[in-house]
Amino acid sequence: MDLQNIKQHFDIIGNAPELNRALDIACQVAPTDLSVLVTGESGTGKEVFPKIIHKYGARKHGQYIAVNCGAIPEGTIDSELFGHEKGSFTGALDTRKGYFEVVDGGTIFLDEVAELPVSTQVRLLRVLETGEFLKVGSSKVQRTNVRVIAATNVNLPEAIGFNRFREDLYYRLNTVPIAVPPLRTRKNDIHLLFRKFAADFAEKYRMPSIVLDAEAKEELEKYSWPGNIRQLKNVTEQISVIEHERSISKEILEKYLPRNASLPMLYKNEGAQGNFASERELLYKILFDMRSEVSELKRMVYKMIGNNTVGYYDKIIEEPVAYHESEQMQELRNDNIMDLQKQEKIAIMQVLKKYNNKRKPASEALGISERTLYRKIKEYNLEDIRDEE
C-alpha cells in the first residue's frame, strides 16, 4: 500500500516521520485480526487510523461502527454495547441488539475507551478473549466475531495505577500500539495544514483564501498548538471569517493564539461572538483560579511541615490513601477541595445554562466528555438547573 495514495484517500496532510510511521503500522496491521490501541493527544486525528485499518483489512466488506465511549451515560453503556432483553430495566420496552451483535464480522472502533466503567471493561475483556457476551438481563451466552480498535488520549498506565483501567484489558487492547504525534512535533506540516484549511474555508464561504506573510508563518510554526489539528482548523476558520484582509500578518495571527491557556480559545470579537467568547474566558479564569488555589495549598503545607518533607506532600496529593495525614492537614486540604468543588459546580451551571441543558455542546465547551459531565450533573444535583438560583 502506497502511503501517498492513502493520504490522498483519507485527506491526510503532512510528511512528518512520526506520522508516516503511524500510517505504516496501520497498513501493516490491517490484514491481520489483531487488536489495535491508538494513542495521542486530543485533536491529533486518531479517528482516521481505524478507518484505514478497516478499509485495508479482511473485514472491509463487513460493517464498521465508531462508538464514542465518553458520550454514552454510564447507566446505558452496557446496553448500547451488548444489547438488552425486554424488561431488563426501566424503559427496556423491547429486546435490543448491541453494537457487538450488529457489527458481527466487521470492525468496532471504541473511541475514548478510558471512559468505560470498570464493570463494562470486564465485559469487553471477555469479548476480546472469548468472543462471548451476555445481553443485559439475559443469561444466554452469545458469540460475536468482531475486530476491536480502541483509542484514547489518556495515559492508560497511569490510569491503571489509580485503578481506573484494568491492566489485563490494557494489554489485550494494546496488542499493536499506534502513537499519533502531536502537532507541535510536526513543525513542517503546520503550514501545509493551514493552507489546506484556508483553501477549504475559502471554498465553503465563497471568499478569497487567507495567506500568511513570512513573520506570521514563522509564528504559526512556533506556537505549541495544545489543541492540535482541531485547534489549528478552528483558528483558520475564525481568521477566514472575521478578518477582512486576506494577507495575515503576525500581529493579526497573534490575536487568535491564546498565550496563557492550554485550551483552544475563540478570539474575542465585538458583536455576535463577544458574549460567547467572554463566557469562555470566564470559564478559563475559574479553572486557572482552581489551579492557583491548589498551588497555594501546597505552599501553605510546605511551610507547615518543613522543606525536608516537600516530596512527602506531593505523594499525599497524588495518593491520599497511602499516607497518614494529621488532622490539621486533612482539614486544610478538605476545605480547599470543597472550595474547588463549589467553583467547579458554578462553572458547570453557567455552561449548562448557556446551552439550555444540552450536554453535548456543554461538554465540548468545558473540555470534558459527555459521560463525565453526566456524572458531575448527578454529583451536584444539577438535573434541572433552570430551577436553581
Q: What is the pLDDT of residue 296?
A: 53
Neighbours of 114 (CB within 10 A): 21
Q: Which residues contact 23 (CB under 8 A, 6 or more apart)?
A: 3, 6, 7, 12, 49, 52
- The CATH number fitting domain 3-181, selected from 3.40.50.2300, 3.30.70.1060, 3.90.1150.10, 3.40.50.300: 3.40.50.300
Phi-psi region of 106 (alpha: psi -120 to 50; beta: other; left: phi over 0): beta
What is the overall mean pLDDT for the chain? 83
Q: What is the pLDDT of residue 324?
A: 47
Compute CA distances 118 → 77, 90, 125, 168, whole Å: 12, 22, 11, 12
Q: What is the pLDDT of residue 263?
A: 42
Neighbours of 39 (CB within 10 A): 20
Spell out the SS3 assignment of 223-283. CCCCCHHHHHHHHHHHHHHHCCCCEECHHHHHCCCCCCCCCCCCCCCCCCCHHHHHHHHHH
Compute CA distances 61 → 48, 56, 64, 95, whole Å: 18, 10, 9, 27
Q: Are 243 and 209 in contact (CB under 8 A)?
A: no
Question: Which of 13, 388, 50 is CA-nearest to residue 236?
Answer: 13
Question: Is the pLDDT reported for residue 371 higher than 50?
Answer: yes
Binned at pLDDT 50, 70 and 90, residue 272 comes out as very low
Find how far residue 364's CA is from the centre of its chain. Answer: 9
Binned at pLDDT 50, 70 and 90, residue 261 comes out as very low
d(CA 105, CA 59): 7
Start-end of H helices in the chain: 3-9, 17-29, 48-55, 77-82, 99-102, 118-130, 156-161, 167-173, 187-205, 214-222, 228-242, 250-254, 274-305, 310-318, 327-354, 359-366, 370-379
Dihedral sign for Cα atoms in the order 210, 215, 216, 218: positive
Question: Which of 31, 79, 85 is CA-nearest to residue 55?
Answer: 31
Question: Is the pLDDT reported for residue 187 higher than 60?
Answer: yes
Average pLDDT of the residues in 31-58: 96
Question: Is the pLDDT reported for residue 339 higher than 90?
Answer: no
Q: Which residues contact 141 (CB under 8 A, 6 or more apart)?
A: 132, 133, 134
Q: Are 180 and 22 in contact (CB under 8 A)?
A: yes
| φ, ψ dihedrals at 295, nearest 5° | -65, -40
Which amino acid, one-letter code, is at 83?
G
Question: Is the pLDDT reported for residue 289 higher than 90?
Answer: no
Dihedral sign for Cα atoms in the order 187, 191, 196, 202: positive
Matching residue, cell 484514547: 152
Dihedral sign for Cα atoms in the order 105, 110, 115, 121: positive
Fold of 187-254: Helicase, Ruva Protein; domain 3 (1.10.8)
* Better-predicted residue by pLDDT, 274 or 327: 327
The conformation of residue 109, written as its DSSP 8-state character, comes to E
Q: What is the pLDDT of residue 268?
A: 39
Binned at pLDDT 50, 70 and 90, residue 236 comes out as very high
Question: pLDDT exceeding 70 applies to what percent of the chain?
Answer: 78
Domain boundaries, the chain: 3-181, 187-254, 274-387
* Better-predicted residue by pLDDT, 211 or 294: 211
Average pLDDT of the residues in 5-32: 96
Q: Which residues contact 215 (CB under 8 A, 6 or more apart)?
A: 249, 250
Three-state DSSP class for residue 174: coil
| φ, ψ dihedrals at 178, nearest 5° | -125, 120
Average pLDDT of the residues in 69-97: 90
